[in-house]
Structure 1
Amino acid sequence: MTKHNILFIGLDTHKEFVEVAYIEEHRGSNPVHHGRVSSAKQAIIKLARQFQSKYPYATLHFVYEAGPCGYWIYRLLTSLGHCCYVVAPSLIPKKPGERVKTDKRDALKLAKLLKSEDLTPIYVPEPEDEAVRDLSRAREVAMKDLKDAKYQLKALLLRNNINYAGTANWSLKHLRWLTELVLPHPAQQIVLQECLQAINERIARLQRLDNELTHHVYQWRYYPVVKAIQAMRGVRLLVAAGVVAELGDLTRFDHPRKLMSYLGLVPSEHSSGGKRHIGAITKCGNGRVRRLLIEGAHTYRYAANISTELQKRQEGLPKHIIAIAWKAQVRLCRRYQKLINKGKHYNLVITAIAREMIAYIWAIAKEVVLSQVDPKLRLARIPA
């Protein structure tokens, strides 16, 4: 039997089955369709053993697309000692003339592209990190559901020309006013009561998720990073936990510009010849982190200062981390005023602030990691 160093195996994963194809390493080899196997764990283990017995001298390299099936295949194959890569579907090269798409072709294509090194693997979080991320996303969904219920109730009142005379919506006074309303028709009164009940239930649900997220974040391995980046203005516990849960280890980026590009906060560019055109931001990568940064960037429209709440968040943090946060606040507040005075659009200014925010967050995370490894190696890397 011919000895092969690497065997590239493409997996097109689905809920019930996995389409499998492979290609050998030697020059001129063509991808081979292996067939369809069940998506059960035992079937995947059996598949890996079959390839091991057929190619005993080869190292197995698996690849599949990221999707709703998650990362359990990656973790299973890596636990067996094999190499496995997960790639983003949007980053898989596609020919303009390809009009036929089948599971078999997708598996063959993945194996061939992995051999030619045309695929870029994505970052796979640890199970604990993914669990905290799921909890953070569940909290965000609960907030969205609460807002939807409030919009539905306000739309009902608007259709009946009922206006609240107070100023603070959804305060205790406003909620008491809602319970005292009597609509013209009994059927509408039922709708009002159901809306109020839905709002109360979703408020309680949001409170439960907030408590659970706070509890689990305190026990998380990335809690030192979460606590440290809260020294930044506009980065509270929920924002910090959301950013770290989505990005994982921020130090895997060796430069903050790569992190900016990963989050899609850099401007797009279309240049040819002597012409250069700079467009809107690319909006690639994780949209949730981008939205959290945009929310935090709005706080820099005010003058730089250390509020009481920010001072409480900075208690117990090292001085060099507080210095990075203060330098970030001074620079970003000044930059906001400078861009606004130039006549730049408000949204553009906020995006520019968010782009620099993630650079300072990266610098703080770098400091935390270096101090955990060896305090003597700590070196403040503050973006210019």
Structure 2
Amino acid sequence: MTKTPIAVLGIDLGKNSCSLAGMDAAGAVVMRKRMTRDAIVMFAAALPPCVIAMEACCGAHFLGRTLALHRHTIRLMSPEYVQPYVKAQKTDDRDAEAIAEAATRPTMRFVLLKSEAQLDLQILHRVRERLVNTRTALINQLRAVLLERGIILPKGRVNLMRRLEDLMTGDPAVSARTRTLLSDLRDEWAGLDRRVKKYDDELAALTREDVQARRMATIPGIGVINATALLAAVGDGSAFAKARDLAAWLGLTPRQHSTGGKTKLLGISKRGNGYLRKQLIHGARAAMPHLAAKPNQLGTWLQAMLTRAHPNVVVVALAAKLARIAWAVLHKQQDFDRQALVAV
């Protein structure tokens, strides 16, 4: 171990081995090592308390929680914020040095450590999303098979399932071999439905048990999926006590560019949590017709927006508004005030 005290330890995480770069209080690199993850824990346990910095990637939250038990200060950063500090050619050692240097910047934005419960919930959402995507691909394949036989169906899973049941009874439009194939695909579809429903039921049960998720689920356009996804990402909302804008963090608000004293609104950012942004937009799309029909302040705002902007633009604007409402509910630790939607 180096005799010079390490003030900041940067770790470039790898699957099996990781590169470490230690900096002293003046910012000079005083140590470079390469270790396995288990060895890092043993090494950090012998270090005096210091700042340990990592990129927020796979395994960073678990390792961060483990190292925090040894009284170290953990700082996780988005890889895109670390990239400008990489010197010359990219190597693991230079990445570790860049991570340590980026962690010392006063304007750096850090990612809070997720708890094990948050990671469990996040994994549940990821597995569910993969199953939904697989089911969508299967449905598209079924439609393509039927289209090759001249069978064109309207949109909707219900219509497709009903038509499949008819085909199983011996429709002359398809051959016996194709009916066997369709039967196998139908069974696979049913299996995916059961697994998705299982996870949906688990998320619904968690929403009923968790106070914060239950509060967010009462917001129009949020529901169980969005409430639990937000809970997995932000926890109790304390992470956004200073940010004040969950919509901006998700990339739902337009970027601004000032030139010549004039401010021009650009498109929405692609930064932030893409899964959450997608789910909030889906929720806003489903809730918009119902909310726009209400004779209240939100309905009046939506109707005015729809007269001057494309519905897709209004959906994103509504999603941003719902994100701000969700942040307020999380931050203030209060139930959603439905009186805000009463008739005006």
TM-score by length of 2: 0.86
**Compared CA separation, residues 70 and 217, structure 1 to 2 (3 A):** farther
Question: Which residue number in structure 2 is paired with residue 35 of structure 1?
Answer: 33
Structure 1: how far apart are the matches of 2:196 and 2:155?
25
Report the RMSD for the aligned CA atoms in angstroms.
3.2
Structure 2: how far apart are the matches of 1:165 and 1:35?
61
Question: Which residue number in structure 2 is paired with residue 312 of structure 1?
Answer: none
* Paired residues for 1:94-243 under 5 Å: 94=84, 100-117=89-106, 119-164=108-153, 169-170=158-159, 173-180=162-169, 181=171, 184-185=174-175, 187-219=177-209, 223-243=210-230
Structure 1 position 246, deviation (Å): 2.5
Structure 1: how far apart are the matches of 2:64 and 2:322?
33
AA paired with 2:268?
I
User: Structure 1 stretches (4+) deviating beyond 4 angstroms?
Assistant: 1-4, 164-168, 181-187, 303-306
Indicate if the aligned counterparts of 2:4 and 2:30 stay in contact, CA closer than 8 A: no
Please give the secondary structure, in 1, of the residue aligned with 2:84: coil
Please give the secondary structure, in 2, of the residue aligned with 1:121: coil
Identity %: 23
Residues 4-37 of structure 1 show CA distances to partners (whole Å, capped at 9, x for unaligned) of: 5x610000011101101111003xx521342101
AA paired with 2:236?
D
AA paired with 2:194?
A
Indicate if the aligned counterparts of 1:183 and 1:189 stay in contact, CA closer than 8 A: no
Structure 1 position 134, deviation (Å): 1.5
Structure 1 position 104, deviation (Å): 0.6
AA paired with 1:154?
R
Question: Which residue number in structure 1 is paired with residue 236 of structure 2?
Answer: 249
Find out whether 1:274 has 2:264 as its counterpart: no
Find out whether 1:46 has 2:42 as its counterpart: yes
Instruction: Mark the runs of 5 or more structure 1 residues left unpaired by the alignment.
Output: 53-58, 307-328, 372-378
Indicate if the aligned counterparts of 1:264 and 1:283 stay in contact, CA closer than 8 A: yes
Residues 298-327 of structure 1 show CA distances to partners (whole Å, capped at 9, x for unaligned) of: 222335678xxxxxxxxxxxxxxxxxxxxx
**Compared CA separation, residues 183 and 338, structure 1 to 2 (3 A):** same
Instruction: Mark the runs of 5 or more structure 2 residues left unpaired by the alignment.
Output: none
Find out whether 1:350 has 2:315 as its counterpart: yes
**Compared CA separation, residues 303 and 134, structure 1 to 2 (3 A):** closer
Structure 1 position 355, deviation (Å): 0.9
Aligned residues: 337
Structure 1 position 333, deviation (Å): 1.8
TM-score by length of 1: 0.77
Structure 1: how far apart are the matches of 2:158 and 2:168?
14
**Compared CA separation, residues 366 and 36, structure 1 to 2 (3 A):** closer
Q: 1:87 aligns with which of 60, 77, 85?
A: 77
Structure 1: how far apart are the matches of 2:323 and 2:114?
20
**Compared CA separation, residues 365 and 205, structure 1 to 2 (3 A):** same
Structure 2: how far apart are the matches of 1:339 and 1:114?
42
Please give the secondary structure, in 1, of the residue aligned with 2:28: coil
Indicate if the aligned counterparts of 2:207 and 2:217 stay in contact, CA closer than 8 A: no
Indicate if the aligned counterparts of 2:244 and 2:327 stay in contact, CA closer than 8 A: no
Structure 1: how far apart are the matches of 2:275 and 2:153?
34
